[in-house]
Amino acid sequence: MFPSSPDNWYTCIDQSSLLGAHRGHRSRYPENTLSAFAASMGRCDFIEFDVQLTGDYVPVVIHDPTLTRTSNILASSIYQQKKSTRLVDYTYDELKVLDMGTWFYEQDPFGTLGSEKKSSATDAQLPQPLLTLDEMLHWAKQNQVLLNLEIKEPESSPHSEVIVEKVVDQLHNHQCLNQVLVSSFNHQYLVECKKRASTLLTSALAEEPPYENPKELVAYLKDIGASGYHPDTNYLELQIIPYLRSNRIMITVYTVNNEQRKRELFAAGVTSVVTDFL
């Protein structure tokens, strides 16, 4: 991380102008892989990543509910057997055969590789496996990295009732509660997190704000026990920032890939922005 990066989330409450790596250094490396996370070291203050459960309830690091976009599932032996691309249709042992990295170098989704494709792919140590949350927390603990863990399971998921338990148990096992900020669009997950770990800091993700009035928004966040608010950059009104910060609400804005917008948000006093470009 940056030389002056905070060492736990409690020290971030009153800070500003922090930089988060969105799924790691994903504009140059395959998202949510160890290569993307390692490459973000020294370029950001914390790493944002996503967690879902496999069919046998193993927490793994992946954004989409399906495996098509970020793996070689369609060319794999397990797909030939099941003809499914859904994460929940496979056990973790089955998913170990997948390569989560090569697609990035074949597609160059951000147009950042150019003629470097071959050398970049070599540097990435392909194939990249599907990371478990256990592996991610072990790596972060070793490297003293702050994490923003987003719980992705929708309420319609067959695992929605157990994902909080699985995630918080892992945080307890690794003794890293102050190193991880948990966020989710499902705010009930945040309430359940606080019940299982009262000192764990949580943050409410939102596209459009749940309340337009900043006083009502702060009251809502405090009611669900959230210490932070993660708004979409396209819907954040700058005038609410001072009131939220005066109430010690951390504001992390996603996904900010425009430098001018980043400077504007930092000048307005947000805690942090999450970006694809480091």
Residue ranges of domains in the chain, CATH in brackets = 9-275 (3.20.20.190)
> Residue 114: its pLDDT value, please?
84
How is residue 51 annotated by DSSP?
A: E
Average pLDDT of span 112-117: 79
| Rounded CA separation 212/261 (Å) | 21
How is residue 87 annotated by DSSP?
A: G
> Is residue 254 a contact partner of residue 63, using CB atoms and an 8 Å limit?
no
Which of 59, 229, 221, 233 has the alpha carbon at shortest distance from 152? 59
How is residue 29 annotated by DSSP?
A: S
Q: Is residue 123's pLDDT more than 70?
A: no
| Rounded CA separation 170/158 (Å) | 20
Strand partners, 231: 206
Residue carrying structure tokens 């928004």? 217
> Is residue 128 a contact partner of residue 33, using CB atoms and an 8 Å limit?
yes
Q: For residue range 223-275, what is the model confidence (pLDDT) as tens digits?
A: 999 999 999 999 999 999 999 999 999 999 999 999 999 999 999 999 999 99
> Residue 124: its pLDDT value, please?
67
Kindly indicate the confidence band of residue 61, based on its pLDDT and cuts at 50, 70 and 90. very high
| Positive or negative: CA dihedral 23, 38, 51, 230 | negative
pTM, two decimal places: 0.96
| Rounded CA separation 17/262 (Å) | 9
Strand partners, 51: 61, 151
| Rounded CA separation 68/55 (Å) | 16
DSSP H/E element including 78: helix 77-82
